[in-house]
Structure 1
Amino acid sequence: MTDGFGLWLRLLDGGHALFDLMAAGGVVMWGLAGLCVLFWTLVFERFWFMRRVFPRWVRERRRAWQQLLAEEAGSWQRAVRSAWLAQARQQLAGPLRLGKTLVALYPLLGLLGTVSGMVAVFDVLAINGTGNPRAMAAGVWQATLPTLAGMVLAISGLFSLARLERDARRALERLADQLRHD
């Protein structure tokens, strides 16, 4: 076996293990996976926006601000500054509301998985009685797995949102400092 082929086999094994885990958790796990993809797409978009797009926007506003300051002073300059800061706040923090909503949905979907798993356990109990612990264990596994996944996703989501909010707050503070009327 060549090294590259061995890597593909390990990746294939990992993929099978992931699909087995998703199947064991029931249909709710696929919902959690979909929300996870949506959330991390949003997070990466926000990091890209703050590193690439927003700095260009700030440079344009700084140039325009210098031109405004070169003109005659007036109260309208303060209004322009306030409008630009409000616009920057909306650009930086607005999309994070969706991220907060998704993070709040993770544990709720996990609890939905718990309920559906417990229904499966009660189904086994109703059909087989308490004499089949293996069938009951599968239902308990299906009940606990989505809850665990929902909590792990929520915790990682909270950390990433906290970082994005901190970066947005700092970027807004830097912009406010750069648009001062000295």
Structure 2
Amino acid sequence: MLFLIELWESVRGFIATGGNVLYVVAFALLLMWIMMIERYWFLSSVYPAMKENIISNWDARTDTTSWYAHRIRETWISEANELLEQRMITIRTLVAMCPLIGLLGTVTGMIGVFETMAQQGTGNPRLMAAGISQATIPTMAGMVAALSGVFFSSRLDAQVKLAKAKLVDSLPHH
């Protein structure tokens, strides 16, 4: 329990040093990871049963060569693709937004530096240090959040594309 309290205090100190923009970075990161975990869960748990259901329905059809059969096949593939692609655009958007949110922290931190310089003058670097840390820490946090998202969202994209291709290949048409 003491470890968790110390961890929480160090996180609060980090956020106090970096400014309130870090809350926005943390929220975007949390939302991105919740969505990515949900997509991984969908691909590993829900989608295989759905794919087997589509394949068994296709195999149960007596007619797989007519124009209507091809449209039914395309509809099933399209519905599966739509479910596979759910939230992927949002995940990619959050990955792209994290560095921009960090840059917002840079701007607010630099505004703090300029306010200090306007009020106290340029002679005291200690007064400017708080604004400079508020300018650099959110940028770093946004980049780290984006890097973690880039790697895992790229892997997730590859798995979605592979799942789509395997579904198409498992529904033979003549």
How high is the TM-score relative to the length of structure 1? 0.91
Which residue of the partner structure matches residue 3 of structure 1?
Answer: none
* CA distance in 1 between partners of 2:139 and 2:172 (Å): 49
RMSD value over aligned CA atoms? Answer: 1.3
1:90 partner amino acid:
E
Which residue of the partner structure matches residue 156 of structure 1?
Answer: 148
* Cα shift at 1:10: 2.4
* Matching of residue 79 in structure 1 with residue 87 in structure 2: no
* Matching of residue 169 in structure 1 with residue 170 in structure 2: no
Q: 1:25 to 1:178 in 2, by over 3 A?
A: same
1:1-182 correspondence to structure 2 within 5 Å: 8-68=1-61, 70-71=62-63, 73-181=65-173
* CA distance in 1 between partners of 2:140 and 2:103 (Å): 9
- Bigger drift between 57-66 and 86-95 goes to 86-95
1:86 partner amino acid:
S
TM superposition outliers: structure 1 runs of 4+ over 3 Å: none
* CA distance in 2 between partners of 1:31 and 1:120 (Å): 18
* Cα shift at 1:134: 1.2
Which residue of the partner structure matches residue 5 of structure 1?
Answer: none
SS at match of 1:130: coil
* CA distance in 2 between partners of 1:105 and 1:9 (Å): 35
2:159 partner amino acid:
D
1:111 partner amino acid:
L
2:167 partner amino acid:
L
2:90 partner amino acid:
L
* Cα shift at 1:72: 6.8
SS at match of 1:131: coil
* Cα shift at 1:37: 1.0
1:147 partner amino acid:
T
* CA distance in 1 between partners of 2:94 and 2:135 (Å): 21
How many residues in Structure 1 have an aligned counterpart in Structure 2?
174
Q: Provide, for residues 26-85 of structure 1, a one-character-per-residue CA deviation record: whole Å limited to 9, x for no partner.
A: 1110011111111111001000111111111111101100111x3474221111111111
- What's the % identity of the aligned pairs? 39
* CA distance in 2 between partners of 1:72 and 1:143 (Å): 62
* CA distance in 1 between partners of 2:132 and 2:63 (Å): 72
